[in-house]
Structure 1
Amino acid sequence: MFRHPLVIRVAHWLNALCLLVLLMSGLQIFNAHPALYWGKVSTFDTPLMSMASSEDDPPKGVTTVLGKSFDTTGFLGSSAGADGQPADRGFPSWATLPSEQDLTGGRSWHFFFAWAFVLNGLAYLLHGLLSGQLRFRLVPSRDQIRHFGASIREHLTLRFPQGDEAKRYNVIQKLTYVAVILVLLPVQVLAGLAMSPAMDAAAPFLLTMFGGRQSARTVHFIVANLLVLFVVVHVALVVLSGFWNNMRGMVTGWFVIERKVEPASASVQTGETT
């Protein structure tokens, strides 16, 4: 079965690249001040969340969330630097782009791929609207909505659709994509724009919408984590439901539909010999 048109496949892989670069460059930017606040200004004494290195010898990484502190040495707050020695960093060097502390470089990567991500997303939506693919891929049918509970049970027991059911996304997939495409991503873009002084001057309603630049930064960070969670679950399901078949579908467009296995008949013929 031909499942994914060329535009969908190209947009998918561009999204994957953009999200990876945006995540790593975003962590680089976050490391310049590894703390989050709520409101218009930074309340340094009472952050919602912070990552810091203690003054111990050797230093320890301490992550504080809503006043509760955790020892995160070696990963958050304090991790090995380029010379292998403990360094005061929010996130470790292997998770950031560039790997060394470079706010200017991180911003350059982040801004370029942010616009690439937005333009790619708009192209995907435009194609989906003009071709009808958007409704087919994102809008659940009444029958799917009625069987929402059954779909949840199938996911929890790792029972994946077969036959005709595998030709379309199920209700959980569709609702998840709707939440990501029409809720999380627009909020993420608007929160990012709200952190720009130039954008705030041109569109002051952005700061009002989020309640301040620091609130927008916190929302941006939280949504980024939700997107990472979505990607992790997405990749896990791709692997569990048939890695090579799913990869072939998203590379070539062709997807193999397995024949649905019907349950054995309850009637048993008697008197037969074998």
Structure 2
Amino acid sequence: MSEQQGLPPVRGPLVYRQSIWTRLTHWTWAICLFFLLLSGLQIFNAHPALYIGQQSGFEFENAVLEIGAINTPQGPRGRTTIFGQQFDTTGVLGMSGSAEQPTFTGFPGAVTIPSYRDLATGRVVHFFFGWIFVAALFVWFLASFINGHLRRDIVPKGADLAGLPRDALDHARLRLHHGRRYSPLQKLSYFTVFFILFPLIILTGLTMSPGMDAAWPWLLDVFGGRQTARTIHFVVMVLLVLFFIVHIIMVLLAGPLNELRSMITGWYRTSPGTPGEQGDRS
């Protein structure tokens, strides 16, 4: 019998990885993005189509996405058109619910806030959580700049870019490392979210506001019109949803208890052999 049998597994040190500001804003964003997504789909259902340019209407052929329903010999069917390509999306998009009592909306009520048609309430919910989201982002940027989190963990450096192919291969093989700092792939992902996707979704949201257009008319020029801004806003929302799905999958694969402890208490269990430093727990 091996002398090692029955011994507890070797564990790496606990390190203080997430500050209180990172944890508070992380959970604030999670709540905000949930309500922003579902209320945003309620707003989208008021006109379930996306265009490129300043205008939209019957006289223009600038739609890149249209969700609706059509009559067929077999009865009404949901139809989604993407860049001219038509897809039958009955039961999911355009037409949902039972055959006896179908609902004709872009997205079904199960994924909108409110679940019934109410554009006014959807806009109130969307704007309320939108401004909380912006405030949390401002707090995070300020705190992360002061405590060095931005420089240390978010902005990729030359060594991170050099190590990106190896880190991407390790993730593809599910060889996940629990280090003190973020891996190159994590840094690049978070940098993209914080410096590209978040600013884009905020600025395009402001571009769709007539009041903001009056105050900042340059927004319309930057994004090529209100309709183009709406399309970019929708695309960025889809990218953030995809990021969230991948994020949850990686949390489950990396060890959900350790990852959750990091975002609740700040303490993170690293892999064995990770160098310790002052403030770590064994």
Length-normalised TM-score, structure 1: 0.90
Alignment of 1:187-198 (within 5 A): 187-198=200-211
Percent identical among aligned pairs is 45
Aligned ranges for residues 1-274 of structure 1 at < 5 Å?
A: 1-44=15-58, 46=61, 47-56=63-72, 58-80=75-97, 85-162=101-178, 166-260=179-273
Higher normalized contact order (CA 8 Å, seq sep 6+, divided by chain length): 2
Distance in 2 separating the partners of 1:141 and 1:41:
42
CA distance in 2, matches of 1:3, 1:114: 28
Q: Aligned with 2:42: secondary structure? A: helix
Does structure 2 retain, via aligned residues, the 8 Å contact 1:140–1:170? no
The question of whether the paired residues in 2 share the 8 Å contact of 1:25 and 1:97 is answered with yes
Query: Shift of residue 257 of structure 1?
Result: 1.6
Deviation at 1:190, TM superposition (A): 0.8
AA in 2 matched with 1:65: I
TM-score by length of 2: 0.87
What displacement does 1:196 show?
Answer: 0.7
| 1:110 counterpart letter in structure 2 | H
Counterpart secondary structure, 1:54:
strand
The letter of the residue matching 1:74 is: G
| Letter matched to residue 76 of structure 1 | L
C-alpha distance in 1, partners of 2:37/2:153? Answer: 26
Partner-residue secondary structure (3-state), 2:239: helix
**1:190, 1:212 → 2: CA distance?**
12
Q: Is the 8 A contact 1:52 1:63 kept in 2?
A: yes
The answer to whether the 8 Å contact 1:58/1:86 transfers is no
CA apart distance, 1:140: 2.9
On the 8 A contact 1:50/1:63 being kept in 2, the answer is yes
Structure-1 separation of matches of 2:100 and 2:232? 33
Q: Once the 2 structures are TM-superposed, how far is the Cα of residue 139 of structure 1 from its aligned partner?
A: 2.4
On the 8 A contact 2:39/2:113 being kept in 1, the answer is yes
The alpha-carbon distance between structure 1 residues 211 and 140, as it changes in their structure 2 partners (threshold 3 A), is: closer
Contact 1:59 1:86 in 2 (8 A): no
- Once the two structures are overlaid, the 10-residue window that deviates more, 170-179 or 55-64, is 55-64
